[in-house]
Amino acid sequence: MQRLLADLAGAVAGVTELRDQKRGLLRLAAPQLMACTLMPRVIAAYRARYPDIEVRLADTLLEHLLAGLASGEAELAVGQDMDVDAGAVARRTLLRDRHWLICPADHVFARRRKVRWSELAPFTFIAPTRDLRQRVLPELEADARAFLMRSSTQEVSYMTTALGMVASELGLTVCPTYAASLVRAHGLHMVKLDQPDFHREVCVYAAARRSLSPAAAGFVQILERFAHKP
């Protein structure tokens, strides 16, 4: 009887610790670019506050981002906006992030405060994701749209590939604000893109039919604080 009571007390303590965010395991998923820029900083802040909660981050392709939610391998996914089945996936907008022009530090555009999309026409453009052209084309004027559709425009799957190519002066690319640390690490420069401004929403995704654990809810709170920093 004493052993049974001890086991029961241990089980109750475990539930209480998870409720109070003292112990537990939190599984996250994020696309490769976000997984190597924004997410490590947020995870570090989270671990500083909740040191006994283990956090595991899966870096993945954007098209596979939500797969872990269905399988239970991830409780939260963080990434760009995408269409979801509202009955299966709950989506919450975290921020609306600007895309910037990325060029070498000695490029003529590096001395500018802002650059229009149409001014990119003389240069090779490196589209950092497979869907960027489809997303930005409807917002561009005809002349800028024509340059983006040229055969010389290159599409790559990873932002790191695009940045490496720009660093070797093979063209220009664009990237979101949260990737600024990676841009600096490549010795590159960010310039405001204008006419039009191009933004993409960054969202938090979770399984619609399951409530967030206390550990996950706490992570979202810290993530939101990072998102609203100037």
pLDDT tens digits along 40-50: 999 999 999 99
pLDDT recorded at residue 15: 40
CA dist list (Å): 77 to 17, 28, 34, 191, 223: 24, 6, 11, 29, 12
Specify the pairing of strand 89-104 against strand 173-176: antiparallel
CA distance 154 to 120: 14
Looking at residue 201, the DSSP 8-state letter turns out to be: E
Residue in 181, 225, 157, 205 with CA at minimum distance from that of residue 27: 205
Cα angle 210, 51, 216 (rounded to 5 degrees) comes to 15
CATH class of 2-95+201-227: alpha beta
CA distance 107 to 79: 31
Q: Where are the domains of the chain?
A: 2-95+201-227, 97-199
pLDDT recorded at residue 23: 65
CA distance 176 to 188: 14
Phi, psi of 46 (to 5 degrees): -65, -45
Listed as ranges, residues in the chain with pLDDT below 50 are 1-20, 230
CATH class of 97-199: alpha beta
Question: Do 156 and 126 meet the contact criterion of CB atoms below 8 Å apart?
Answer: yes
pTM of the predicted model as reported, rounded to 2 decimal places? 0.78
Query: Do 97-199 and 2-95+201-227 fall under one CATH topology?
Result: yes
